[in-house]
Structure 1
Amino acid sequence: MKWNKKCIENLSNNQMNHITNFWNYFQQNNFVFLFLNEISKDEIKTHFDKLIEKLHQYNKDLDLIIKNKTNEAELIITANGNPYLFKEVELLVHHAPVIERWKIIAFLQPETNLTKFENGTDKPLEYYGITLRISEMYFIPLENPNKPTDLGIKVLLKNYIVHKDNPRLREAVYVHIEHLIGEKAFANDIAFIEIGQLEGDYENLIKMYKLTSFITI
């Protein structure tokens, strides 16, 4: 969405104040987040908690992710896959200041480095005690007879039996897929998801890391 002058004029003063406060705090303390390895964990936590507090003053359902690289870093503002909050993310990022060595991004973006998944060298991601690796996940496409244009998938996990009663399992799977294909594709291109145990013959299954290319076919 393009944020033009008319859209901005319609924002409440309160909303704009929260946006300004968030970016002011981040700009003034960006070096803390840029050099995470050189700053004490207590200090990082203090600043991170404050930054999250200011973000949630703007919208309590948004979240942020900081990725540090060699000479730069990324600040990602995410709606956690909720399409009803996409405009809120876009508005906040629209007002982001230019900060040296920082890239400010709206939404989780699709993973472009698939080699680690192909080679099985990807690091396992842990979510509330549930450990999953994209390279060990498969899927099969599903159809909804009532809505033939909707794409669904059944995600197959090696350790589904272990975690099937964990109320966080579905959330963990969603987070992994979101990080793989990007937040917008997750919200817009996949209509429903089932989860099951990986077993038997893998020949008719599709490796999870190929989901992005499958969607775009």
Structure 2
Amino acid sequence: MSQTFPKTQVWFMDWHSRVLDHDPISDYFSPTPFQPGVYPGISAKIAPPLNLPCDITFEKRVSMPRPLPVLEALDAGNGLIIFQEKELKTFLISAPVPGKGRIGTDSTNPGEWERFLPMTEDTMRGLSTLLVSQAASLIDVETGKVLSTIRPGEGFLWMLGDTSIPLTANIQNIEQIGRLPARHEAEISFIRNDDQPPLRVHVRRPG
């Protein structure tokens, strides 16, 4: 008998640091900038660990009649996934067209814009903490310098101070911050986007 694991809610970030959200007017996918403390209107329930390939059924926070496509999640490497429309063999794409951007399932060649980063609730909380100055103090352990909040970038590369931080390599660090209670602190070793030693940051949550 196979063991059944409880499912966890997961959201998805695109190449441009936007999240898959729900547009109630079109009742379809919509790209939205990541907003601290705000959970997007579209998510999926996944039983960890994520074994790829697997079918992904998206859920809307606000129930509306238009069905979302059931897509197959494929491994894109480095903790990223791509979504394939199984019948048409096309891919979900989040394109930075003028305005809000466009999400469709008509891509025939999976590249950068077809890659997505799965995010648990702890990931969402951790990123929110790093984006809001009042949520935590960030101090460079080596220099004692107070760091400004993390800055979103393209290609899942965000900036912490002057250091480029790949989200894909730091998911466990971000989740640890997301689980850090108020009035607690931790030293986090962020993996850099180069061959330099990790950036050691003292993270303290206020009361």
TM-score (norm 1): 0.23
Larger Rg: 1
Normalised TM-score (structure 2) = 0.23
Identify, as 1 or 2, the structure richer in helix: 1
Specify which structure has the higher proportion of strand: 2
